[in-house]
């Protein structure tokens, strides 16, 4: 039986569906007087690992490339990313973080060493992929200053995941010193200046290892708690507020959370966030829990596989509440927040945008619905989730972009991020959605999912409601009311397609695009029809 943990160890080891109209049978009631918490812009964060085509050639093309670039960084990518208002970008892994030596990525780029990237051994490489390039042998051209410049170009905050498995704690502190010590203060500040950045990079977010239950060292939670304490004790802040993120559980592993929190004791005071990872991968309908056998194709899927991936994504809600409950047994005032720093769909190999894009997969309207469903879940728990990072940004799992040589396109997932950016910084408010469930056949047994799911936020008089219709084949008309407030005007943006398998590609980059739609208030209500397998944003001006 192969699990994700053993898979990673081995690596480092339709339906074209016509909408059947329904009469109004759903109601959405938004309650401005019931705030949940401020929606952290960092919920809209991303993840970049030295893995397949993510960094080379997704982001880094080099200064001498014919591909338009800013100091070696792909221009089309940063321009589009900036428009979607990214919160933070996590780098350099993932599992690669616990192999990475930050000292390889500083100094003259011409002198930097070439190293083996452990992903070279992954069983998921496409057969026709070349295994001798930067995707397998890391040339260290995108090191720390290049990564932080990428973040600045995209107006995102850097989030660095440090190596806990194979570098000593002292190197963690020195990496912080390289990034944040004042100009002229230390040898490493001088090194940074020689690398082009005399002023501190002011990196606030630091991950202390990654998946320490697996590729990050196969620790027990108690062992990891001791390591976390050692790495984070008495680290100089250099005037910047340091926010340490501890390696949290794999999906529903409450034993990891309980074991860590019970043991961590006073070191919880130096923890800002606890990282949960959850991928939606098992589309087998419960037929297997094997990591390789349970995954299905990103493009060719039937109704059961469509719903099964959304079912996996919809587990996010219970993962958040269950881990939060366990954390609260020790951290009673909930000082430590949840950071979901890896989430998204993970399909079987076969739809890579180019062969060297290891773990690259296509992204359809199903992935757009998964994205909306997940972002809405985070927003409904804005009091608990302080950051979330979709895995991964480009040419990989659940990506926003595909980029290869001079070709570039955005995915349906990108459009959802751009639509939902309107929520950032606003107050999440309780929203009650009452709609018939959708039913499907799960390996011969009846199964259900919510018909509509969503969240709402309020800033001043501007209210934003986002909703996904999970049904493959039924549109759903809903009455929308804002309790205690009149609706003055509203406008909608809808992401939908006649076929849920619709996707963008280098040859058809605009096959899936959001469309604006007028919404007219009827008295104190809005009435809106949500198309099947769609994501909708409605911006409402209240009185």
Nearest residue to 431 via CA among 15, 2, 18, 29: 29
Q: Pick from 57, 195, 211, 308 the residue near ligand AHR by CB under 6 A.
A: 211
Give the integer Cα–Cα distance in Å for 477 and 474: 10
CB of 499 to ligand AHR, least distance (A): 28
Q: Between residues 95 and 320, which has the closer beta carbon with respect to ligand AHR?
A: 95
* Rounded Cα–Cα distance for residues 359 and 124 (Å): 7
Any idea what the Cα angle at residue 27 is, between residues 21 and 28, rounded to 5°?
A: 120
Figure out which of the listed residues 40, 48, 49, 189 binds ligand AHR, where binding follows CB under 6 A.
49
Whether 477 is a known active-site residue: answer: no
Q: Between 271 and 397, whose beta carbon lies closer to ligand AHR? A: 397
Q: Kindly state the smallest distance separating residue 53's Cβ from ligand AHR, in Å.
A: 13
Burial category of 217 from C-beta neighbours within 10 Å (exposed 0-12, middle 13-18, buried 19 and up): buried
Q: How many CB atoms lie within 10 A of CB 473?
A: 15
Q: Is 210 in the site for ligand AHR (CB under 6 A)?
A: yes
Contact between 95 and ligand AHR per CB under 6 A: yes
Stretch that binds ligand AHR, among 38-46, 100-108, 389-397, 444-452 (CB under 6 A): 389-397
- What is the footprint of ligand AHR within residues 324-343 (CB under 6 A)? 342
Query: CA-CA distance, 101 to 107, in Å (whole number)?
Result: 13
Among 124, 138, 211, 312, which one carries the catalytic annotation? Answer: 211
Q: Is residue 472 at the binding interface for ligand AHR, with CB under 6 A as the rule? A: no
Could you say which of 8, 160, 327, 519 contacts ligand AHR (CB under 6 A)? 8
Binding status of residue 391 toward ligand AHR by CB under 6 A: yes
d(CA 539, CA 490): 6
Q: Which stretch binds ligand AHR (CB under 6 A): 89-97, 181-189, 362-370, 472-480?
A: 89-97
Least gap, CB of 208 to ligand AHR (angstroms): 14
275: nearest Cα among 129, 93, 524: 93
Q: Which stretch binds ligand AHR (CB under 6 A): 87-95, 99-107, 283-291, 475-483?
A: 87-95
Minimum gap (Å) between residue 350 Cβ and ligand AHR? 17
* Catalytic residue list contains 308: no
Please state, in angstroms and rounded to a whole number, the distance separating the CA atoms of residues 120 and 137: 8
Least Å from the CB of residue 49 to ligand AHR: 5
Residue sitting closest to ligand AHR (CB): 94
Task: Please say which residue, 8 or 540, places its beta carbon nearer to ligand AHR.
Answer: 8
Which three-class secondary structure state does DSSP give residue 288?
coil
> Does residue 92 touch ligand AHR according to CB under 6 A?
no
184: exposed, middle or buried (Cβ count in 10 Å: 0-12, 13-18, 19+): exposed
- Are 261 and 222 a contacting pair, CB within 8 Å? no
Tokens of 344: 């998204």
- Tell me if the bond preceding 392 is cis, omega within 30° of 0: yes
Residues 6+ apart with CB under 8 A from 178: 102, 106, 144, 188, 189, 191, 192
Identified catalytic residue from 227, 317, 342, 356: 342
Query: Does 412 help bind ligand AHR (rule: CB under 6 A)?
Result: no
Chain residues in the site for ligand AHR (CB under 6 A) = 8, 49, 93-95, 210-211, 342, 391-392, 397
Active-site residue set: 211, 342
């Amino acid at each position: 039986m192969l699990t994700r943990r053993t898979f990673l160890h081995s690596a480092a080891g339709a339906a074209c569906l016509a909408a059947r109209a329904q009469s109004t049978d759903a109601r959405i009631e938004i309650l401005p007087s019931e705030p949940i918490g401020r929606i952290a812009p960092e919920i809209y964060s991303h993840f970049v690992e030295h893995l397949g085509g993510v960094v080379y050639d997704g982001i880094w093309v080099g200064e001498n490339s014919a591909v338009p670039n800013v100091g070696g960084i792909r221009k089309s990518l940063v321009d589009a990313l900036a428009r979607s208002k990214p919160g933070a970008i996590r780098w350099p892994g993932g599992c690669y973080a616990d192999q990475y030596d930050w000292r390889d990525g500083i100094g003259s780029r011409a002198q930097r060493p070439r190293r083996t990237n452990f992903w070279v051994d992954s069983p998921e490489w496409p057969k026709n992929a070349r295994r001798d390039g930067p995707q397998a042998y890391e040339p260290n051209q995108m090191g720390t200053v290049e990564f932080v410049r990428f973040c600045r170009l995209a107006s995102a905050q850097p989030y660095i995941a440090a190596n806990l498995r194979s570098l000593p704690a002292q190197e963690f502190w020195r990496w912080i010193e390289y990034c944040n010590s004042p100009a002229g203060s230390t040898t490493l500040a001088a090194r940074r200046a020689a690398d082009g950045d005399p002023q501190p990079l002011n990196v606030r977010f630091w991950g202390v290892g990654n998946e320490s239950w697996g590729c990050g060292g196969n620790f027990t939670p108690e062992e990891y708690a001791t390591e976390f304490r050692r790495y984070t004790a008495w680290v100089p802040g250099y005037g910047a507020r340091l926010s340490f993120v501890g390696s949290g559980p794999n999906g529903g592993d409450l034993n990891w959370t309980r074991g860590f929190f019970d043991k961590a004791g006073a070191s919880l005071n130096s923890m800002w966030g606890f990282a949960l990872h959850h991928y939606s991968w098992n589309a087998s309908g419960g037929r297997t829990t094997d990591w390789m056998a349970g995954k299905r194709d990103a493009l060719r899927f039937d109704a059961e596989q469509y719903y099964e991936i959304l079912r996996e994504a919809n587990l996010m809600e219970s993962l958040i509440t269950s881990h939060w409950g366990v954390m609260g047994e020790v951290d009673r005032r909930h000082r430590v927040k949840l950071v979901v720093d890896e989430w998204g769909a993970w399909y079987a190999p076969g739809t890579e945008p180019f062969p060297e894009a290891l773990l690259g997969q296509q992204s359809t309207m199903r992935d757009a619905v998964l994205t909306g469903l997940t972002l809405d879940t985070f927003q409904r728990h804005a009091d608990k989730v302080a950051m979330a990072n979709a895995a991964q940004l480009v040419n990989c799992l659940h990506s926003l972009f595909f980029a290869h040589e001079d070709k570039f396109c955005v995915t349906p997932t990108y459009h959802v991020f751009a639509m939902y950016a309107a929520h950032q910084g606003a107050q999440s408010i309780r929203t009650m959605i009452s709609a018939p469930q959708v039913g499907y056949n799960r390996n011969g047994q009846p199964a259900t999912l919510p018909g509509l799911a969503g969240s709402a936020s309020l800033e001043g008089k501007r209210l934003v409601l986002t909703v996904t219709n999970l049904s493959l084949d039924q549109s759903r008309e809903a009455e929308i009311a804002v309790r205690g407030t009149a609706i003055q005007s509203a406008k909608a943006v809808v992401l939908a397609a006649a076929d849920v398998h619709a996707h963008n590609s280098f040859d058809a980059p605009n096959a899936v695009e959001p469309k604006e739609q007028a919404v007219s208030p009827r008295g104190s209500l809005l009435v809106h029809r949500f198309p099947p397998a769609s994501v909708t944003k409605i911006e409402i001006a209240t009185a």
